[in-house]
């Protein structure tokens, strides 16, 4: 019985089930080494210094929840959305993140990411028959690891990728281990309190039961092996109820749909300015097809399609697998942030298809013994590991990443944000770029609040448009930037401090340094900080040089 419910072969025009006792080929000498190299490579790919801005506001939220002993209900971090409800579906992950950071700092968070990467690979091995060939899994994981590790970070999405793999594996094992399905409601409780992708759990059950229903209505010659109906129905019902086991009840369940509508209706502005929301087509138009992560996406698609073709010739196509594969490929095409999700789906589906096709061939009396390509794939794994350690992979991708722990050097404006967290600085601030707002949240929230931060579930599209207009108009030396940010010089107590990052935004700092109503009070080689001149004089903040 192969992954996700069984294996089939057609022989001499008739369909025949492959017995679970079919003799498996003797493992090659490289099998164990190849299988062991995959999680090791995943661990290596996961060990890159922290570079995700979102982690900082997640971390600060976890610290606040631990201090208050309660989850947030209203926004704590912005003054433009302070009365808006905040449904923090990430709260459990944030608490764990804060605890881990307290124990081991940033490096502990990086190791958590790497462990999640390796754990996903380990889970992918559990959905297969004992003694299955190593090379189908390795072949699928070579591009899959690039997609997963390229999008995997210390953010809560890591939990979703791990639990997605766990769900798929448990459903694959359900016919021969139906009791393991009782883990799904517990996993769903964990998922709904860690990340908004928890809706994938019920959707997977729906897809699985949908294929089951189709087979009941139009029985095939040999239906897939299934778990007991009562067990599956009870588990499915409890899993749906588990979605309500969170501090926000139905509001948490409706949030993913609201987010999908929000990003969909405002896709233009979000896709233009947020890299992870750009489509695969956008990236191709921007940088061509030479990016290794884009190539990994297309290679995974080709491998998956090829595996379905093999199943059509030697075994039997599975509607459940096909639906998951197509849905994952489309989601990854629509937004590159979903590439990790597709990577997990593509690896599992492709491996299961290849396992079925191989089992069908090996059950045939005419099948000839052929050598496994384990040694070749082991060399490919080694080459990818070498490219990772040497930095060649990241140079090819045009990234500044490297193998290591800690933070990415000169990436986060900690000194400027620590300065802004001082009690003699304004309680309001505007941070350009928006990622540095998350760093400032980690240093000074909730006492110091942002105009806008990275949380699209809280901030409105109108606020985001005003935020973008503020910097664009300032860089053109257009006084309309003040109106966009709601700056009223007649209300000096509401004037925000302004953090402007060096680099592409430096033009705005140059212009503001010549405005007598603003004073530059902090500058280093990463960022500058301005406050209203009147505020600076009242608090004894001296002017510093822009250079």
β-pairing verdict for 449-450 and 428-432: parallel
pLDDT confidence of residue 287: 76
pLDDT confidence of residue 224: 82
Q: Order across the sheet with 527-532: list the strands.
A: 449-450, 428-432, 497-501, 527-532, 518-523
pLDDT confidence of residue 290: 85
Beta bridge partners of residue 527, listed in sequence order: 501
Give the orientation angle of helix 135-151 with respect to helix 374-390, to 10 degrees.
20
Torsion of CA 420, 424, 427, 433, to 10 degrees: -20
pLDDT confidence of residue 455: 93
pLDDT confidence of residue 399: 87
pLDDT confidence of residue 270: 81
DSSP, collapsed to helix, strand or coil, labels residue 177 as coil
Name which of 500, 522, 494, 526 is nearest 512 in CA terms: 500
DSSP class of residue 181?
G
The whole-angstrom distance between residue 10's C-alpha and the CA centroid of its chain comes to 40
pLDDT confidence of residue 268: 75
Length of the chain: 547
Tell me the CA distances in angstroms from 284 to 234, 293, 294, one per residue in order: 45, 11, 8
| 96 CB-contact burial (10 Å; exposed 0-12 / middle 13-18 / buried 19+) | middle
* Number of other CB atoms surrounding residue 412 within 10 Å: 24
Rounded distance, CA 226 to CA 210, Å? 13
* Number of other CB atoms surrounding residue 7 within 10 Å: 31
pLDDT confidence of residue 364: 56
Structure tokens at 384: 């990818």
pLDDT confidence of residue 223: 77
pLDDT confidence of residue 186: 97
Say how many Å lie between the first and final Cα of the chain, rounded.
Answer: 69
Rounded distance, CA 518 to CA 385, Å? 51
Contact by Cβ (8 Å): 198, 188: yes
pLDDT confidence of residue 477: 92
DSSP, collapsed to helix, strand or coil, labels residue 523 as strand
Low-confidence ranges of the chain (pLDDT < 70): 1-28, 262-267, 315, 362-371
pLDDT confidence of residue 11: 38
């Amino acid at each position: 019985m192969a992954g996700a419910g069984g294996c089939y072969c057609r022989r001499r025009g008739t369909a025949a089930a492959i017995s679970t006792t079919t003799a498996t080929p003797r493992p090659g000498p490289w099998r164990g080494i190849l299988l062991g190299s995959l999680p090791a490579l995943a661990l290596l790919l996961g060990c890159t210094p922290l570079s995700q801005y979102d982690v900082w506001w997640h971390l600060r939220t976890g610290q606040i929840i631990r201090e208050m002993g309660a989850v947030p209900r209203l926004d704590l971090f912005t003054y433009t959305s302070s009365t808006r409800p905040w449904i923090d579906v990430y709260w459990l992950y944030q608490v764990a993140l804060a605890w881990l950071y307290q124990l081991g700092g940033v490096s502990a968070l990086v190791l958590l990411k790497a462990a999640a990467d390796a754990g996903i690979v380990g889970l992918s091995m559990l959905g297969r028959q004992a003694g299955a060939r190593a090379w189908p899994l390795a072949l699928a994981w070579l591009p899959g690891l690039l997609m997963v590790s390229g999008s995997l970070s210390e953010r809560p999405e890591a939990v979703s990728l791990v639990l997605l793999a766990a769900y798929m594996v448990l459903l694959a094992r359900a016919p021969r281990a139906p009791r393991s399905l009782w883990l799904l409601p517990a996993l769903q409780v964990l998922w709904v309190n860690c990340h908004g992708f928890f809706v994938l759990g019920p959707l997977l059950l729906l897809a699985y039961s949908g294929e089951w229903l189709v087979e009941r209505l139009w029985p095939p010659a040999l239906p897939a092996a299934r778990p007991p109906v009562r067990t599956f129905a009870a588990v499915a019902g409890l899993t749906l109820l588990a979605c309500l086991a969170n501090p926000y009840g139905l509001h948490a369940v409706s949030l993913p749909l609201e987010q999908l509508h929000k990003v969909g209706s405002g896709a233009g502005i979000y896709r233009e300015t947020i890299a992870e929301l750009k489509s695969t087509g956008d990236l191709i138009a921007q940088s061509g097809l030479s990016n290794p992560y884009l190539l990994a996406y297309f290679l995974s698609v080709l491998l998956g399609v090829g595996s379905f073709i093999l199943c059509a010739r030697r075994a039997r196509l599975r509607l459940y697998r096909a639906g998951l594969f197509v849905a994952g490929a489309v989601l990854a095409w629509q937004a590159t942030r979903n590439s990790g999700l597709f990577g997990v789906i593509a690896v599992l589906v492709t491996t299961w298809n290849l396992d079925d096709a191989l089992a069908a061939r090996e059950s045939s009396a005419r099948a000839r013994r052929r050598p496994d390509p384990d040694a070749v794939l082991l060399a490919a794994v080694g080459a990818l590991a070498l490219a990772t350690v040497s930095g060649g992979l990241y140079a090819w991708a045009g990234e500044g990443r490297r193998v290591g722990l800690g933070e990415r050097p000169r990436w986060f404006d900690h000194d400027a944000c620590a300065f802004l967290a001082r009690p003699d600085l304004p309680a309001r601030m505007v941070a350009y770029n928006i990622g540095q707002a998350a760093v400032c949240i980690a240093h000074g929230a909730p006492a110091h609040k942002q105009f806008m931060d990275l949380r699209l579930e809280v901030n409105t599209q109108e606020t985001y448009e005003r935020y973008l207009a503020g910097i664009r108009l300032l860089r053109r030396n257009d006084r309309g930037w003040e109106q966009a940010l709601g700056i009223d010089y007649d209300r000096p107590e509401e004037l925000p401090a302004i953090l402007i990052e060096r680099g592409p935004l430096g033009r705005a700092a140059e212009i503001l340094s010549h405005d007598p109503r603003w004073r530059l009070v902090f500058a280093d080689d990463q960022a500058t900080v301005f406050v209203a001149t009147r505020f600076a004089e009242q608090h004894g903040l001296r002017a510093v040089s822009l250079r």
